[in-house]
């Protein structure tokens, strides 16, 4: 597999779920700087290593970020810091816009103005940009229909990233992650990823609340497959100034995933149903032929992924 080696890497949001798993995967062979304000991430997610430099800071502080970027001359930049909850951005649209869009634009502009010679910058966009467009599976060329401040900011920033690349000769790439799950996803907020909330309910014997009838579908992708995709997209030179779905192309309803998780854990879980969540997407799954052409092969079915995830929690 293509992997990043011997490089200076910036990971914003690196103490969060995807970011900290990425740090684990890259720390041995690289020097990594993490900027995270710990609003959702945890310091305990990060390994102890002399290759790691951690700054508890907000990416909204443009002066700090600009200084960091010009001082370090990174080879690779992963822009993962965000308010990752769709529902949270509906409650705080202006505040989350500063993080999910403006801070990232400032980072790009620092790179442009200072002509920083990075090898590539990757931005974490989202399947949320496709919204409720009925076309399934979602292809990168499918019409978009962003329904929430989250999705609007992700789409706009993704376009800034791709077109800063084309306009100013900066190698960039954007990923549209579908529903990522696995170890270290923080269940500590009602806005957390659904599988982390289900696993937390099972573990603590608590009731789980389904928004809607549970027949909404998602393309759940295990974290290790996401790490594979991130490495490929950074290292492969043909993946440039473009956007890629990162998913498995398997469709699963929320009711089915609850049933599977109960079976795997062998634990009971009481579930009740309530109204759908505002701005929620009904059906979502991906066409992944574009990233497969670069060598990406998802290795985890939902059952294999849930088993790994559950085992990591009870170890």
For 91, other C-beta atoms within 10 Å of its C-beta total 13
Q: Quick count: other Cβ atoms within 10 Å of Cβ 23? A: 24
Measured at the CA of 153, the angle between CA 73 and CA 162, to 5 degrees, comes to 50
Q: Where does this chain touch ligand UD1 (CB under 6 A) — which range of 25-33, 157-165, 275-283, 307-315?
A: 275-283
Among residue numbers 165 through 204, which ones bind ligand NAD (CB under 6 A)? 177, 179-180, 186, 193
Is 150 known to be catalytic? yes
Query: SS3 of 273, please?
Result: strand
Catalytic residue among 76, 150, 164, 222, which? Answer: 150
Determine which residue in the list 127, 152, 269, 288 makes contact with ligand UD1, applying CB under 6 A: 127
State the minimum distance, in angstroms, from the CB of residue 241 to ligand UD1: 22
Please enumerate in sequence order all residues whose Cβ is within 8 A of that of 1, keeping only pairs 6 or more positions apart, or say none. Answer: 228, 231, 232, 295
Residue 19 found at the interface with ligand NAD (CB under 6 A): yes
Calculate the dihedral angle through the C-alpha atoms of 155, 159, 161, 162, rounding to the nearest 10 degrees.
130
In this structure, are strands 52-56 and 31-36 parallel, antiparallel, or unpaired? parallel
Q: Please give the Cα distance from 291 to 298 (Å, whole number).
A: 10
Count other Cβ atoms within 10 Å, centred on residue 95: 14
Is residue 14 within 8 A of residue 122, CB to CB? The reply is no
9's tokens: 């890497």
**Using CA atoms, how far apart are residues 276 and 121, in angstroms rounded to an integer?**
36
Asked if 113 contacts 102 with a C-beta cutoff of 8 angstroms, the reply is no
Report in angstroms how near the CB of residue 21 gets to ligand NAD at its nearest.
Answer: 8
Residue 39 interacts with ligand NAD (CB under 6 A): yes or no: yes
Q: Which residues within the stretch 190-249 sit at the binding site for ligand UD1 (CB under 6 A)?
A: 191-194, 197, 209-211, 216, 218
Give 260: exposed, middle or buried? Use CB within 10 Å, 0-12, 13-18, 19+: middle
Closest CB 42 distance from ligand NAD, rounded Å: 8
Residue 68 is a binding residue for ligand NAD (CB under 6 A) = no
Q: Which C-beta is closer to ligand UD1: that of 168 or that of 191?
A: 191
Q: How many CB atoms lie within 10 A of CB 309?
A: 22
Cβ nearer to ligand NAD, comparing 267 with 277: 277
List, in sequence order, the alpha helices (H) in the chain. Answer: 17-26, 62-72, 86-91, 93-97, 103-113, 149-168, 194-204, 223-235, 254-265, 289-292, 302-314
Query: What φ, ψ does residue 223 adopt, rounded to 5°?
Result: -55, -40
The answer to whether residue 58 forms part of the interface with ligand NAD (CB under 6 A) is: yes
38 binds ligand NAD (CB under 6 A): yes
| Nearest-approach distance from CB 115 to ligand NAD, in angstroms | 25
Name the segment binding ligand UD1 (CB under 6 A); options: 3-11, 25-33, 46-54, 188-196: 188-196
- Pick out residues in 77-116 that bind ligand NAD (CB under 6 A): 80-84, 99
55 binds ligand UD1 (CB under 6 A): no
Specify the stretch interacting with ligand NAD by CB under 6 A; choose among 24-32, 54-62, 254-262, 305-313.
54-62
Asked if 313 interacts with ligand NAD (CB under 6 A), we say no
Task: Cite the active site residues.
Answer: 150
Q: Point out which residues bind ligand UD1 (CB under 6 A).
A: 84-86, 126-128, 177-179, 191-194, 197, 209-211, 216, 218, 254, 277, 280-281, 284
Q: Which residues bind ligand NAD (CB under 6 A)?
A: 12-13, 15-19, 35-41, 58-60, 80-84, 99, 124, 126, 177, 179-180, 186, 193
């Amino acid at each position: 597999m293509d992997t990043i080696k011997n490089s200076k890497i910036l990971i914003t949001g690196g103490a969060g779920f995807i970011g900290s798993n990425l740090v684990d995967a890259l720390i041995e062979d690289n020097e990594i700087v993490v900027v995270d304000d710990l609003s959702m991430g945890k310091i305990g997610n990060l390994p102890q290593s002399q290759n790691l430099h951690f700054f508890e800071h907000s990416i909204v502080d443009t002066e700090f970020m600009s200084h960091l970027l010009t001082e370090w001359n990174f080879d690779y930049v992963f822009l993962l810091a965000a308010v990752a909850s769709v529902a949270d951005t509906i409650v705080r649209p202006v505040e989350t816009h500063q993080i999910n869009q403006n801070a990232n634009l400032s980072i790009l502009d620092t790179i442009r103005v200072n002509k920083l010679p990075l090898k590539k910058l990757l931005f974490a966009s989202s399947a949320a940009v496709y919204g409720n467009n009925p076309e399934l599976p979602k292809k990168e060329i499918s019409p978009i229909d962003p329904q929430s401040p989250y999705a609007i900011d992700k789409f706009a920033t993704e376009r800034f990233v791709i077109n800063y690349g084309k306009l100013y000769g900066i190698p960039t790439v954007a990923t549209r992650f579908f529903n990522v799950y696995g170890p270290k996803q923080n269940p500590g907020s009602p806005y957390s990823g659904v599988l982390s909330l289900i696993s937390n309910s099972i573990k603590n014997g608590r009731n789980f609340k389904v928004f809607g009838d549970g027949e909404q579908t998602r393309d759940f992708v295990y974290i290790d497959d996401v790490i594979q995709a991130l490495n490929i997209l950074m290292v492969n030179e043909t993946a440039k100034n473009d956007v890629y779905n990162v998913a498995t192309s398997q469709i699963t309803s929320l009711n089915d995933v609850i049933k599977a998780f109960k079976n795997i854990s062998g634990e009971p879980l009481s579930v009740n149903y309530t109204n759908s969540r505002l701005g929620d997407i009904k059906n979502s799954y991906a066409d992944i032929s574009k990233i497969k052409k670069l060598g990406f092969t998802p290795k985890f079915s939902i059952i294999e992924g849930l088993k790994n995830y559950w085992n990591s929690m009870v170890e």
